[in-house]
Amino acid sequence: MEQERKIPAHVAIIMDGNGRWAKKRGLPRTMGHAQGAKVVEQILEDADHMGIKYLTVYAFSTENWSRPGSEVKALMNLLRTYMKTSLAKCAKNNVRIRVIGDKTRLDEDLQASIANLEENTKNNTGIGFQIAINYGARDEMRRAVQKIAAEVKEGKMDARDITEQTISDHLDTAGIPDPDLLIRTCGEERLSNFLMWQLSYSELYFTDKAWPDFDKAELEKAVDAYNHRERRFGGLVS
Ligand code: FPP
């Protein structure tokens, strides 16, 4: 009998290749990002229909500030539009939004729309959608260490009681299970400072498709590949 297909509970995606996709078509890079943003929304729906419980996407890294000002602005405007216009759709599809990353460096209006969307979707019970903005794994760990150190200093915790779980609980992804599967598009095979603590035991899947060309069939392929991996978490081959 054919074995039932396992659906990863949490899929994380490094959406690479927007710029190359646009260049190939003689378009400005920002058009690649705009198309990429449409694809994110479609993939969120597809992931939900497939039974994926959490989807986390890398929208803007702590390193992306070094891109030309016009490109940073275009990316921020796409995120701004998403935060302002998604509430009805999230309500309809029961989506819960969480932005991970250091939000304090974002424009105040964007911080306010993020807070609003997070607050208004927090009781939704469907797919959890995490958007990484001004996110870097090292920065996330640095902030977690700061929070833990403050709690130790205030006498709320003894340093000897710090466990791996304590660290997980102080990351931006607290309460969300670690990703089972990481997908990176457009031929690059690096983690690029994304979820480095959380991806310790995740399966990694790389595809040559540029993010704006990614679709449900590609997501299915990644899930199929995941099904052919044997996850051992450091144990023995069964
Ligand atoms: C990488 O492609 C992509 C990004 C740095 C930005 C990804 C952001 C989006 C798709 C928009 C997110 C929107 C929502 C709604 C969450 P690249 O520019 O590095 O491409 P290249 O390597 O081909 O130059």
Interval 178-191: pLDDT, tens: 999 999 999 999 99
For residue 189, give the nearest of 207, 209, 202, 163 by alpha carbon.
207
CA dist., res. 162 & res. 149, Å (int): 10
Kindly give the interhelix angle for 69-85 and 29-50, rounded to the nearest 10 degrees: 30
Residue nearest to atom 15 of ligand 1 (CA): 37
Correct CATH for 10-136+178-226 of 2.20.28.120, 1.10.10.60, 3.40.1180.10, 3.50.50.60: 3.40.1180.10
Q: Is the pLDDT of residue 53 over 80?
A: yes
Atom of ligand 1 nearest to the CA of 32: 18
Which atom of ligand 1 is found nearest the CA of 81? 15
Distance from Cα 63 to the centre of ligand 1, integer Å = 12
**3-state DSSP assignment of residue 187:** coil
**Residue 208: what residue type?**
D
Distance (Å) from CA 236 to ligand 1 centroid:
38
Q: Residue 100: name the closest of 67, 72, 61, 73 by CA.
A: 61
| CA–CA distance, 57 with 99 (Å, rounded to integer) | 10
At position 156, the amino acid (one-letter code) is K
For residue 238, pLDDT over 90 is answered with: no
Give the model confidence (pLDDT) of 121-175 as tens digits: 999 999 999 999 999 999 999 999 999 999 999 999 999 999 999 999 999 999 9
The pLDDT value recorded for residue 2 is: 56
Nearest CA to ligand 1 atom 8: 59
Closest residue by Cα to atom 10, ligand 1, is 36
Nearest CA to ligand 1 atom 18: 19
Average pLDDT of the chain?
A: 96
Domain boundaries, the chain: 10-136+178-226
Radius of gyration from C-alpha coordinates of the chain: 18
What are 210-229's pLDDT values in tens digits? 999 999 999 999 999 999 98
**Which residues does the annotation mark as catalytic?**
16, 64
How many whole angstroms from 189 Cα to the centroid of ligand 1?
Answer: 16
Residue list, ligand 1 pocket, CB within 6 Å = 15-20, 33, 36-37, 40, 57, 59, 64, 75, 78-79, 82, 131
- Nearest-CA residue for atom 3 of ligand 1: 16
pLDDT, one tens digit per residue, over 57-110 is 999 999 999 999 999 999 999 999 999 999 999 999 999 999 999 999 999 999
pTM listed for this prediction: 0.96
Ligand 1 pocket test target in 16, 81, 185 with most atoms within 8 Å of CB: 16
Distance 15 CA to ligand 1 centre (A): 6
Residue to substitute in 31, 33, 57 for testing ligand 1 pocket (most ligand atoms within 8 angstroms of CB): 33
Place of tokens 């903005």: 133
Residue nearest to atom 7 of ligand 1 (CA): 59
